Amino acid sequence: MKTDNFDKELRAQAPRLGEIPKADPFLVEKNFFDRFPHEVQALAAKPNKAAWPVWVKRAAIALPAMAVLLFAVHTLRPTSVPMAVDPQSDDQVLAAVADQMGTEEILDATEEADWPEFSTVTVQLTPEEAAAYVDQNQIDLNEYLY
């Protein structure tokens, strides 16, 4: 009676556990102990099917390590590549600064000895007259200064 109630409770609470057959787990097949040693010896005598060569195992470790090392060297090395100096970019920077300055400011910032020689002008002008001439004719002094 108790076993019937126990079986019903077991199936209600744990259906999979209740499905396990009730048999003797220590029951051994007929002639098991006669045949078992021969099966074990046959498995032990069988050669290994897939024995990897030693170099493959070493390469499996060395290649990822080498890749990590190369990546570290590549990313951690200093990047002091000399930059090529472009003379046109310097001229453009100076031209941009000169565009922001007026003619008077440019002439005041430079000494008279550094002023460009105007080969087409034959008349001797004072600095004020030269500034007025440049402004009136809209001459770009950048072409002459740089």
Q: Which residue is associated with the tokens 């770009």?
A: 140
CA–CA dist 48, 131 (Å, integer): 98
Burial class (CB in 10 A: 0-12, 13-18, 19+), 10: middle
Segment 64-120, tens digit of pLDDT: 999 999 999 988 887 766 666 565 666 666 667 667 777 777 777 777 776 666 666
* Lowest-pLDDT range of 91-95, 122-126, 129-133: 91-95
**Domain boundary assignment for the chain:** 88-145
And the tokens for 80? 């002091």
Residue 17: which residues within 8 A CB-CB, separation 6 or more? 10
If one counts every other C-beta atom within 10 angstroms of the C-beta of residue 132, the result is 14
Closest to 118 measured CA to CA, from 108, 109, 131: 131
- Mean pLDDT of the 21-36 span: 87
CA–CA dist 99, 146 (Å, integer): 13
